[in-house]
A and B are shown apart, each in its own frame.
Chain A
């Protein structure tokens, strides 16, 4: 399905946590074609500041209603401006973009979902699809971590996802104390839990994704990682969202993949992780508000 430029209207805006906002948008052209793991380029407001569109994954897709949901953390001037919009406000979207997740054909496969911070966003639709439909006998767990409890979605919302959820926070303010990938590694090693996922789906900061990739490669599991990058255009023109590819290009040169076109979903083995310059967390809100 071709990408389209569409003016969507906000139907509903909900604040789910101190800095996490969920928007429901009427966007019939995009919702009809959207798949889990794909994204839209959204202009948070008209004018030249902030200048660029921002990428947002589909948190939920409702093609029957012509609606999509996006979930975001207020992390900079763009998301702050977006958080101030409400029902009836128009926003310009380009989408659907990127490759999207593929669910396993064998529905008996054990699968793990791993989310770091706002990386929970694209997993919402993916989990809904994985748990619906015929023969959904697979054993699926969600491992969901953040720096602190205030950066997690409330437990009652996450419990509606309909699968077993394991929480982790870096500061121990909720759930397991430590990084979510450590919780995941420990859980899959437990003798009293028969959970050896054959496939992992993850979204979160690159520092987290590195550990997911490492686990997947060491345990010979299939993996679909939704990777992030700053983007200029989202459609493969600016070539700004490059990541180092594991394989080389002609003449043994480093080859780069582009998150917008080749991704945002990549397998663990397709990225040269030791060549990634880890991006820092966004600054505290007092610096941009």
Chain B
């Protein structure tokens, strides 16, 4: 018979500290993949989430792009929604009060066409009851102005972050795009401008076409690729960013299981966001949280923070110094 587990051993500690932001577990929903929470309330327990990041908000409501807006691709999907959203006033009067009633930290994702709009949004949201943090979207590939235009230029990224920083004392996350030559450079700019936390990656610029109609699959022609297809790209980006900055990093990109989430935390991400996988399985975040707990128990790791960033890249060639190393195989 298996010995009974020692009752004196406490359950593993899943809580994480991201600069000023403390979360009971590291699993959040990614912006744009979970609506404003209410859409999923009957399907999963929102109170289990580490945090809930809502659909990107702009100062005024946005209608979004014409359809078709999405297309499925191998192990992924491309979207060009165009940041359709209800605008900050409806968010504050309708969406946020609903979320306040739940026991989950709410993070607002903000988007502007100009630096002034970002600043205006931050000012309007600052101090809103029930709001835990803000995530600045400088990385949406699907809008003509703003978004990725800011996030592909270090100086512009810094200007947006500085402008928002001046308007709020809430923990500030900057969400980075992978569609740049050096994500590390953008990461350093955002951190230098006062971002407490970085999150990466947003979707990967992509397109799909139809050989029969000879037309693009998306009315916008280009869109952003998400889902498991982008996870290796995301992992590489998060690796680069965690080594470029001192501030905590949130890993995003194709996470669909606890093992996926742990990969990001192994390379140094302090937390993760789950995106497209929510569409497929509304209970996936709860499963990932449970899976991380089981992993820590099985590996006898007392706290998740003891696991984060423990990737071992030393001695990748263990035989190099060995006597056998000189043997040509």
Interface residue ranges, A against B (CB under 8 Å): 2-5, 43, 48-53, 92, 94, 229-233, 235-244, 249-251, 253-256, 275-277, 279-281, 283
Stretch among B56-64, B109-117, B195-203 lining the A interface: B56-64
Residues of B within 8 A of A249 (CB): 61, 63
* B67 smallest CB distance to A (angstroms): 5
Residues of B within 8 A of A3 (CB): 42-43
Q: Provided the pairs A235-B40, A240-B70 are in contact, do residues A52 and B279 lie with their beta carbons within 8 angstroms? A: yes
Q: CA–CA, A92 to B281, complex, Å?
A: 9
Q: CA–CA, A279 to B216, complex, Å?
A: 11
Fill in one digit per residue for B64-85: 1 if any A CB lies within 8 Å of its CB, else 0. 1111111110111101010010
B67 & A277 in contact (Cβ 8 Å cutoff): yes
Residues of B within 8 A of A275 (CB): 66
* B203 smallest CB distance to A (angstroms): 12
Query: Nearest residue in A to B283 (C-beta to C-beta)?
Result: A5
B77 & A51 in contact (Cβ 8 Å cutoff): yes
Interface of A is mostly: loop
Q: Provided the pairs A94-B43, A243-B67, A280-B210 are in contact, do residues A51 and B280 lie with their beta carbons within 8 angstroms? A: yes
* B99 smallest CB distance to A (angstroms): 14
Query: Nearest residue in A to B84 (C-beta to C-beta)?
Result: A239
Residues of B within 8 A of A253 (CB): 63
Residues of A within 8 A of B67 (CB): 229, 241-244, 256, 276-277
Q: Provided the pairs A237-B278, A240-B70, A241-B67 are in contact, do residues A48 and B227 lie with their beta carbons within 8 angstroms? A: yes
Interface of B is mostly: loop
Query: Nearest residue in B to A253 (C-beta to C-beta)?
Result: B63
Query: Nearest residue in B to A280 (C-beta to C-beta)?
Result: B213
A242 & B64 in contact (Cβ 8 Å cutoff): yes
Q: CA–CA, A251 to B65, complex, Å?
A: 16
Q: Provided the pairs A239-B81, A242-B69 are in contact, do residues A283 and B212 lie with their beta carbons within 8 angstroms? A: yes
Name 28 interchain pairs, CB-CB below 8 A, sorted by A. Answer: A49-B74, A49-B75, A51-B76, A52-B72, A53-B280, A92-B281, A94-B282, A230-B71, A235-B40, A235-B43, A236-B35, A236-B39, A237-B35, A238-B33, A238-B70, A238-B279, A240-B70, A242-B64, A242-B84, A243-B67, A244-B67, A249-B61, A250-B60, A256-B66, A256-B67, A256-B84, A275-B66, A280-B212
| Interface: B25 (CB within 8 A) | no
B266-311 at interface with A (beta carbon < 8 Å): 276, 278-283
B75 & A48 in contact (Cβ 8 Å cutoff): yes
A255 & B63 in contact (Cβ 8 Å cutoff): yes
Q: Provided the pairs A48-B227, A52-B77, A230-B68 are in contact, do residues A237 and B84 lie with their beta carbons within 8 angstroms? A: no
A53 & B279 in contact (Cβ 8 Å cutoff): yes
Residues of A within 8 A of B34 (CB): 237
B43 & A4 in contact (Cβ 8 Å cutoff): yes
| Interface: B215 (CB within 8 A) | yes
